[in-house]
Amino acid sequence: MIPGRISLEGRVAVVAGGGGDGIGGTISLCLAQAGAAVAVLDRDADCARQAVEAIEAAGGRGLAVLEDVCTPEGCAAAVERTVGTLGGLDVLVNVVGGMGGQARWVVTEEWTDAEWDHILSMNLRYVFLMCRAALPSLRASRVGGSIVNIASISGTHSAPQHVAYGAAKAGLVSMTRSLALEYARDGIRANAVAPGVIRTPRGGRGMASDFEARLAESLPIPRPGQPQEIAGPVLFLASDLASYVTGQTLGVDGGAAVRYPIPVLGRSHMMS
């Protein structure tokens, strides 16, 4: 059968960090609009409520699940509540990540132990905790489970002052491949999306004022991305349209990662 429109009708998704109106909230809404019942897993009650209200306003079904995904207990409780209330689990999206409130972009020797642990916990360790808690339920899915991890161009490429964040996201890319190999025979696919620069309501803090102008100069698609431009690829990977795709990391970055890294214009760099 040739697949038609993207549908998650009858499926249950949990979106870790699915609250608010940034990348997470937009993914939650997008999955719900495709027909999934969505557990909005967030530690912030206001963020969770905002996303659930947006889902319900669009005619979908949302459930606020308030837990901290950085603890094994929080992950286990979130999966139990989702399965108990919504009747199963088919899709897990891990969105929580970033630099946290205390973000400092500094070189390696300036990172404290606590900062390193915090960034690794909220970008890598929790995904292991969430997957470990969710895998039995995903295995029981009648349609096959799907995991989508939000990585970053910082994990597929490198930048100065990214030692912890970059290492965590690179680890997430590797973890995604391991999950794909380990659970393919259980009908579970695992993929990642690696965003470039995405303009979010809370984003931009600490960015230089001319950042967007410099970004426009350097990117093939000359602008930052929008949260819905991450949600679309997540929906694709979560759905049956991607039924033969596993272990992949899809760059969603306006073409940033495909450019030759040394300035070359046609043959103009060659000696005549």
Ligand X SMILES: NC(=O)c1ccc[n+]([C@@H]2O[C@H](COP(=O)([O-])OP(=O)(O)OC[C@H]3O[C@@H](n4cnc5c(N)ncnc54)[C@H](O)[C@@H]3O)[C@@H](O)[C@H]2O)c1
End-to-end CA distance of the chain: 55
Quote the least distance from Cβ 160 to ligand X, whole Å.
Answer: 16
Contact residues for ligand X, defined by CB under 6 A: 17, 19-20, 22-24, 42-44, 47, 68-70, 95-98, 122, 150, 152, 195, 197-198, 200, 202-203
Nearest to ligand X of 37, 151 (CB atom): 151
The answer to whether residue 126 is catalytic is: no
Rounded Cα distance between 92 and 63, Å, is: 14
Rounded Cα distance between 125 and 53, Å, is: 30
Nearest to ligand X of 77, 184 (CB atom): 77
Nearest to ligand X of 134, 197 (CB atom): 197
Quote the least distance from Cβ 252 to ligand X, whole Å.
Answer: 9
Burial classification of residue 153, based on how many CB atoms lie within 10 Å of its CB (0-12 exposed, 13-18 middle, 19 or more buried): buried
DSSP 3-state of 189: strand
Are β-strands 146-150 and 189-195 bridged in parallel, bridged antiparallel, or unpaired? parallel
Residue nearest to ligand X (CB): 97
Complete edge-to-edge strand list for the sheet that includes strand 91-94 = 61-66, 37-42, 12-16, 91-94, 146-150, 189-195, 249-252
Nearest to ligand X of 88, 196 (CB atom): 196
Quote the least distance from Cβ 121 to ligand X, whole Å.
Answer: 8
Quote the least distance from Cβ 166 to ligand X, whole Å.
Answer: 11
**Residues of 29-45 as b/e, b for ≥16 C-beta within 10 angstroms?**
bbbbbbbbbbbbbbbee
Catalytic residue among 165, 183, 244, 260: 165
Residue positions annotated with a catalytic role: 165
